[in-house]
């Protein structure tokens, strides 16, 4: 009897343990590239703990500046929203007190784990329960969670000290908890968490606020049958949302001279981008739309083709039959999720600096991804009784996992000047037996051999999950479709001699030295 419960837990949540291993195994830290987005966040953590200030002067003087610092009133500051740094402060402070100030690399690792890995794992657990509404079959639901966790930008931005994944977690968790309240699964007390998480989202990443209006409208609709409680629910949420929002406004005033002034207002490096239009939003750009969704180097759909299933899933939910309330609830969900997708796609298509520098995928729209998952789940559920079809659809998941897991295991900072970085960076590094620092390399196991446990936890888990849901024939179909998608990247025109120079002069030395 004592072994029955652990076995049951392993059978039910073994996938989460495998993802945890994957998230913790590789440590893509490359000091040579002086990561512009991550270092100012670490500097801020150190400044708060060691200097009692928001100014990152000491970090810049000691380790060097980046493009993402903003000078103001004789000091320099991170131009990022401070939420991800604030979350890491308590743990970093304890470590510093016990063991002394950690090195820059160790500090970055602490921040990544506290602000990325641990919140993502908790969010995946929350998602697992939430998606049961749309995919009661655990085998199908597991596919959706794995696709998101390992085959999308959620993978890389969990491992890197960017704020996008944490912001997505905050705003999507607020939505999930709010739906639970509306469904009667949680009491009104949970609205405190809803409000705090919703308010924390822009504290972590400014553009996460864009999802707020559709989510508020969705909650009001769901609560309308209980409208006597609606006012109280919104009041509780508003009070607790005011805490992180109030802190953000105070932070702006302390650092940049006014509550509505951000680091981008005083940024010098990219001032010509941020000063265009409103907050860098000026006009819709066809190049930005195509580049953010369909290009081989950065396209959301190209790198995570399984997200296309959200279209079919949305249609199926819209047409769902049943009583009038169930039908309108399903349509309200589709409208909410679609609205959020449209808002973020318009945003990234209109922002001047849409490419966002080195990375894997259009990072500015990471916050919209969790809202696509119910629609994807509906599409996979509809195909569940046809294993070959489901297997073929899972091929899109497999290709996403291959792209993002191998990218994370090598160099997840794809240079924005390359046209086909999957082949020109990721596969070329693997061919040269060059991989990210990892637990294996820390134990003296170099090269690809050091990431074998990571590959088992990503590619192996994905294959196992597909086989469980579709059978061996379905897995074969997934391999064929996924292989065809990966192979199609070989048809993309390369960057030419520039790619070779970028690899030899920048990428390979960063990974191996």
**∠ CA 175-113-61, rounded to 5°:** 115
Residue-by-residue DSSP string for 184-243 = TSS-TTHHHHHHHHHHHHHHH-GGGGGGHHHHHHHHHHHHGGGHHHHHHHHHHHHHHHHH
> How high is the pLDDT of residue 1?
46
Enter the tokens of residue 484. 């065809």
Nearest to 283 by CA among 365, 355, 356, 351: 351
Compute the distance between CA of residue 249 and CA of residue 460 in angstroms, rounded to an integer. 46
Q: Which residues contact 244 (CB under 8 A, 6 or more apart)?
A: 83, 196, 199, 200, 202, 203
Contact 264, 274 (CB under 8 A): yes
**Does residue 29 lie in a domain region?**
yes
**Does residue 270 lie in a domain region?**
no
Q: Which helix (H) or strand (E) holds 76?
A: strand 75-78
**Does residue 325 lie in a domain region?**
yes
**Does residue 275 lie in a domain region?**
no
For 27, phi then psi, to 5°, come to -130, 85
Q: Which residues of the chain have pLDDT under 70?
A: 1-4, 270-280, 321-322
Compute the distance between CA of residue 200 and CA of residue 247 in angstroms, rounded to an integer. 10
**Does residue 296 lie in a domain region?**
yes
**Does residue 442 lie in a domain region?**
yes
> How high is the pLDDT of residue 513?
84
> Helix, strand, or coil here: 480?
helix
400 C-beta neighbours (distance < 10 Å), count: 27
**Does residue 277 lie in a domain region?**
no
- Total structural domains within the chain: 1
**Does residue 122 lie in a domain region?**
yes
Enter the tokens of residue 462. 């994905």
Enter the tokens of residue 265. 């207002």
> How high is the pLDDT of residue 393?
98
In the chain, what's the furthest Cα-to-Cα distance?
Answer: 67
How distant, in Å, are the alpha carbons of 46, 84, 249 from that of 262?
20, 16, 9
By CB neighbour count within 10 A (0-12 exposed, 13-18 middle, 19+ buried), where does 404 fall?
A: buried
Domain containing 322 equals 24-259+282-512
Determine the length of the chain: 513
pTM for this model (two decimals): 0.95
């Amino acid at each position: 009897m004592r072994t029955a419960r652990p076995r049951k837990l392993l059978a039910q949540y073994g996938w989460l343990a495998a993802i945890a291993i994957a998230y913790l195994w590789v440590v893509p830290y490359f000091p040579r590239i002086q990561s512009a987005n991550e270092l100012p966040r670490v500097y801020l953590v150190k400044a708060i703990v060691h200097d009692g200030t928001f100014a990152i002067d000491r970090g810049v003087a000691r380790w060097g500046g980046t493009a993402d610092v903003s000078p103001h009133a004789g000091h320099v500051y991170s131009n990022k929203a401070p939420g991800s740094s604030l979350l890491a402060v308590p743990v970093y402070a304890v470590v510093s007190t016990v063991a002394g100030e950690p090195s820059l690399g160790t500090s970055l690792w602490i921040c990544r784990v506290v602000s990325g890995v641990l919140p993502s794992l908790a969010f995946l657990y929350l998602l697992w329960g939430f998606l049961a509404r749309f995919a009661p079959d655990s085998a199908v639901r597991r596919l959706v969670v794995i696709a998101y966790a390992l085959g999308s930008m959620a993978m890389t931005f969990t491992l890197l000290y960017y704020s996008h994944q944490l912001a997505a977690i905050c705003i999507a968790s607020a939505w999930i908890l709010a739906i639970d309240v509306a469904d009667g699964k949680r009491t009104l007390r949970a609205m405190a968490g809803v409000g705090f998480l919703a308010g924390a989202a822009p504290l972590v990443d400014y553009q996460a606020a864009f999802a707020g209006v559709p989510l508020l409208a969705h909650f009001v609709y769901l609560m309308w049958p209980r409208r006597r409680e609606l006012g109280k629910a919104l009041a509780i949420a508003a009070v607790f949302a005011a805490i992180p929002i109030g802190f953000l406004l105070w932070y702006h005033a302390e650092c940049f001279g006014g509550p509505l002034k951000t680091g981008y207002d005083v940024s010098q490096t990219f001032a010509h981008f941020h000063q265009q239009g409103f907050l860098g939003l000026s006009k819709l750009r066809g190049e930005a739309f195509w580049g953010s969704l369909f290009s081989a180097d950065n396209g959301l759909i190209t790198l995570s083709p399984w997200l296309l299933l959200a279209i079919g899933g949305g249609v199926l939910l819209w047409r769902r039959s049943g009583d009038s309330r169930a039908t309108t609830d399903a349509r309200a969900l589709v409208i909410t999720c679609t609205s959020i997708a449209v808002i973020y796609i318009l945003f990234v298509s209109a922002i001047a600096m849409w490419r966002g520098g080195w990375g894997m995928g259009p990072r500015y729209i990471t916050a919209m991804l969790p809202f696509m998952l119910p629609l994807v789940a509906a599409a996979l559920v509809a195909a569940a009784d046809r294993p070959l079809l489901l297997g073929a659809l899972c091929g899109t998941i497999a290709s996403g996992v291959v792209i993002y897991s191998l990218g994370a295991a090598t160099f997840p900072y794809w240079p924005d000047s390359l046209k086909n970085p999957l082949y020109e960076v990721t596969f070329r590094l693997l061919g040269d037996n060059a991989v990210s620092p990892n637990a294996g390399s820390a134990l003296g196991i170099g090269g690809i051999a050091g990431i074998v446990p990571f590959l088992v936890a990503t590619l192996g888990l994905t294959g196992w999950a597909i086989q469980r849901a579709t059978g061996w024939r379905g897995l074969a179909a997934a391999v064929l479709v996924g292989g065809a998608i990966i192979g199609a990247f070989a048809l993309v025109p390369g960057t030419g001699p520039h790619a070779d120079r970028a690899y030899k002069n920048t990428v390979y030395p960063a990974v191996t030295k």
